[in-house]
Structure 1
């Protein structure tokens, strides 16, 4: 989700020990190739009155459990709560 929501882009620098640096889809060339798709998703979300993360949320579980790893940040939980289905 980090890529499709625009959080991770070709200029993102990962700190030492961050596992995401070793993930092939996060390589600068792969990220650059995916930016047109990211732009399309973001534009689509704006038209729907949502964020990209809300647009891509799994309809079966729109809101993360408060104790789940994905909901450990208040901002992510609040965004999940605003997801429209």
Structure 2
């Protein structure tokens, strides 16, 4: 089973969803825009699921600031990053 993670990036919080290859939801959560929230995201990505196929961020003004830092950490943890087009 392939697992995909989508992140809707906002100013004060971020909505996270894990879905399988059929689009069926596996997990969802809202995290805060701080160290505790980013830690929760990394814990979710570390769950014993099949290796996440990709992590995708949705952000209207591109990848920058804190979002860029999260992308670096996610990639270092062995996940692929697929920017939203």
> Is TM > 0.5 for Structure 1 vs Structure 2?
no
Q: TM-score, normalised by structure 2?
A: 0.27
Relative contact order higher in (CA < 8 Å, ≥ 6 apart): 2
TM-score calculated relative to the size of structure 1: 0.27
Which structure has greater strand proportion?
2
